[in-house]
Structure 1
């Protein structure tokens, strides 16, 4: 739902300033709590952490109802950092489940299952504004989402949060081959903090930083300066729906390569990385061609962009088909990038506690990139400048990711090195055992 809202450009508002500043707040705290999220999940478990974290998304969406009536962005911007805290913890829990539950031969499949479910929310979220605003007509004005749309988002997000309470504890989950998902150690705050600090000196994790930084950077441009600037509101809703549907299809398709047992894992990884490099470079080349045709979007409800012919509406096939197809292509490429990154992290270990920390670190660095990107748009950096920065970041990330991929092992360790005995002492002085 959150992605669908932001994919509308400005979270459904014409003026993207409030949304940009709120998202900057989101990703500022997301950086910190993404990195800390794995430790928090290891200490508190997945059910209540996901439940409480999910409610922060509903709070953020509800703030736009207030914005519609007051035109004051104070509440919305204030909810941003709160959401960032929740998001960092939620994504750490999600990453642990997604990467540690499957056997090694099914990690690509499980990532794709998650990505389909995840983006189903985006599809539903795109349908809501499309249906509500379809009767608006083409016009030449871009309007904001009504209260009813935001209310639908809040209800769906609250329902999703409550569903987390139905999750089985990881200790009770058994894989298809009969093995237990969780080789759980007794843990405490001191031990978790030490393990988090070790991530910053782990060379394999440090090699992930460039691709992590680039992998969420492009959302700001795609949501705002592209979808938010070029299309009428109802067309933006349609685009959002198709964008996330393309992600579902692409994630499912790439899972077959990631799980192809006739090839070594390193060979699979290199093929996937090569395909990703081709698709990403083609995407940014096509985007640059589009960007050469305009320099700005609508700046208020009475203005339009400077794209030839003004805002693009879905009833104009000759103008709409190409730009809409490019936005769909952007969604498919994003799914490949994210699926590959998670699959790559999943090849490093099968240890659930370590994967929670790895997932949190990945999302934390992602959020650092997103924070920078949202502020570039908030500070009115030229749209062409944003395209160039995105493309350069991708190219910069490729050699580091190649080096890491070329050293994938066919089998990851089931558990990480056992900590020193003093980290495993319970409060009563006895040593803990593996569950």
Structure 2
């Protein structure tokens, strides 16, 4: 039964069970548009600027993007320093191994949790772990308490599994089919802006430092921003209230239970078995982070140069996401053609960027590296550009993986499970690389594992990318494992709030 603040769309069916339509919409303010101007921009000949309504996919994506900007974005700025900004890289690598090991287990089942407890709670609880992790680094600065650092890393893995599953569900299931590349690109740009701005904090505070670790103020600044992030997550609207511009809704479960969601996980693997072909790509997508952050930035550069490199790395992620967002939504190519095109571009980038990385890696080993290359030294520019291209490649690879998954379904419940599979397996890969690092494996071995895994993963995924991705995902296929009907998804009307447009089932 809907509460008094919810509008219930009446059903014309004579079936007693169907006469109570459970399709609900939120409070009226969620669908009101805010118009800024025209007085503000009259002198510049710019008309009124109308913001999307709060319960629109666009606004919800922006909110999730800023939560990730403030939580994992700032975490990335810390990680990008190499060893979390610490002198003892071994303890940080152990903590990261704990993070990604926990993340791998939780992530695989996080889709079921998110579908059951809702995306708002999932996202907010997920953000808290990032705050605690940076607090453990602050503590480590004073007492070298590796136990607390490793515990915080393990808890972060649990929280991150939930946060990234909620994020993936919003990013892949909320937009219309023709907008998915744009949505993924917008998220990735805002999220990585967190790494860029976050990188300015240690750069500014350690500009003239010759110490090997960052100071307390750096960690405190990150903690304040992360608190704002997990509080902001409470503004996320429940999926059942989301209404697209054309009046269609997100496909979810009306009455999820723990049993239904665990069964949904099994049903997803059974019906969409081909997702297994993407598992190597999932594994590869974060495998290289430990190599990038510790074997290159942490091992090769001085602390202030590591901070600068971190900014450039995340800045290039924004550039990569923007470029691939344009390619993924090209209007003059159909979706199957775009899928093939981006596969070939990714393969070419893999050979080019990592081929250059091989040439660079041959210049030093774990035993010979000095860990003091500074931007003031000669010979810095080449390694700097190499690191920037690694950042560009990371954004390109992950943007495409999300888009490939989004092409396979529009069902929010199913895509939450896909996102869980992605983040869980991805984290298992990260754990493997961090374990290689604290076991002091040769840097060339770490590099070779990255390049080999990425190349092989593209080959494994090629049959699904080439033959499974269609121009549209049929609505009937997406509703097979949902308790919603076609009318629930395409028949909702919010009177006098949304523009009247023709609804298309393929955009549901």
**TM-score, structure 1 as length reference:** 0.91
Partner residue, 1:179? 248
Task: Identify which of 451, 454, 474 aligns with 1:413.
Answer: 474
Whether 1:75 and 2:140 are equivalent positions in the alignment is: no
Q: State the partner residue of 1:300.
A: none
**Offset at residue 226 of structure 1 (A):** 0.4
Please give the secondary structure, in 1, of the residue aligned with 2:206: helix
Q: Corresponding residue for 1:323?
A: 383
Report if aligned partners of 1:52, 1:86 keep a CA contact under 8 Å in 2: yes
- 1:215 corresponds in structure 2 to 285
Listed as ranges, the gaps of 5+ residues in structure 1 are 298-304, 426-430
- Determine if the alignment matches structure 1 residue 265 to structure 2 residue 325: no
How far off is 1:418 after superposition? Answer: 3.1
Q: What is the Cα deviation at residue 183 of structure 1?
A: 4.3
1:10–1:260 CA distance, 2 compared to 1 (3 A): same
Equivalent-residue separation in structure 1 for 2:258 and 2:427 (angstroms): 24
Which residue of structure 1 lines up, in the alignment, with residue 274 of structure 2?
204
Kept after mapping to 1: 8 A contact 2:299/2:369? no
TM-aligned CA distance change 1:296 to 1:287, over 3 Å? same
Residue of structure 2 equivalent to 1:85: 158
- Aligned partners of 2:89 and 2:474: how far apart in 1? 46
**Residues 1:286 and 2:356 aligned together:** yes
TM-superposed CA distance for 1:170, in Å, is: 2.0
Q: Secondary structure at the match of 1:187?
A: coil
Determine if contact 2:239/2:252 at 8 Å carries over to the other structure.
no
2:394 is matched with 334
1:146 alignment counterpart: 215
Answer yes or no: is the 8 Å Cα contact 1:22–1:76 preserved in 2: yes
2:235 maps to 166
**Does the aligned pair in 2 maintain the 1:217–1:369 contact within 8 Å?**
yes
Identify which of structures 1 and 2 has the higher relative contact order when contacts are C-alpha pairs closer than 8 Å and 6+ apart.
Answer: 1
Q: Identify the residue that residue 131 of structure 1 maps to in structure 2.
A: 204
1:403 equivalenced with 2:466 (yes/no): no
Aligned-pair distance for 1:416?
Answer: 2.6
TM-score (norm 2): 0.78
Task: Determine the structure 1 residue equivalent to 2:87.
Answer: 14
Which secondary structure does the structure 2 equivalent of 1:186 belong to?
Answer: coil
State the Cα distance separating 1:200 from its structure 2 match.
4.2
**Which of 94, 102, 105 is the matching residue for 2:167?**
94
Deviations 1:298-317 (A, max 9, x none): xxxxxxx635xx6211123x
1:45 and 1:279, CA in 2 relative to 1: closer, same or farther beyond 3 A? same
* Residue 215 of structure 1, CA deviation: 0.7
CA distance in 1, matches of 2:461, 2:480: 28
What displacement does 1:72 show?
Answer: 2.4
Contact 2:81–2:293 at 8 Å: present in 1 too?
A: yes
CA distance in 2 between partners of 1:45 and 1:101 (Å): 15
Confirm or deny: 8 A CA contact 1:51 1:162 kept in the other structure.
Answer: yes
Q: Is the contact between residue 199 and residue 205 of structure 1 (CA under 8 Å) also seen in structure 2?
A: no
Residue by residue over 1:92-143, the C-alpha shift from the partner in whole angstroms, topping out at 9 and shown as x without a partner, is 100000011111111000001110111011111211111110022xx5xx51
Matched, 1:116 2:116: no
* Distance apart, 1:273 and its partner CA: 1.1
Tell me the secondary structure at the aligned position of residue 145 of structure 2.
coil
Distance in 1, Cα, partners of 2:291 & 2:202: 20
Cα distance in 2 for residues equivalent to 1:27 and 1:197: 23
**Secondary structure of 2:208's aligned partner:** helix
Q: Which residue of 2 aligns with 1:378?
A: 438
- Which residues of 2 match residues 188-267 of structure 1 at below 5 A? 188-201=257-270, 202-267=272-337
Cα separation, 2, equivalents of 1:81 and 1:272:
35
What is the CA–CA distance in structure 1 between the aligned matches of 2:435 and 2:269, rounded to whole Å? 26
The match for 1:352 is 412
Quickly say closer, same or farther: Cα 1:419–1:322, change in 2 above 3 A.
closer
Q: Aligned pairs, how many?
A: 412
Residue equivalent to 1:104 = 177
The 3-state SS of whatever aligns with 1:281 is helix
CA contact (8 A) 1:351 1:413 kept: no
Matched residue, 2:110: 37
Comparing 378-387 with 12-21, greater Cα deviation is found at 12-21
Larger Rg computed on CA atoms: 2
2:71 corresponds in structure 1 to none
| Pick aligned residue for 2:347 from 262, 265, 277 | 277
Structure 2 residue runs without a partner (length 5+):
1-73, 490-508
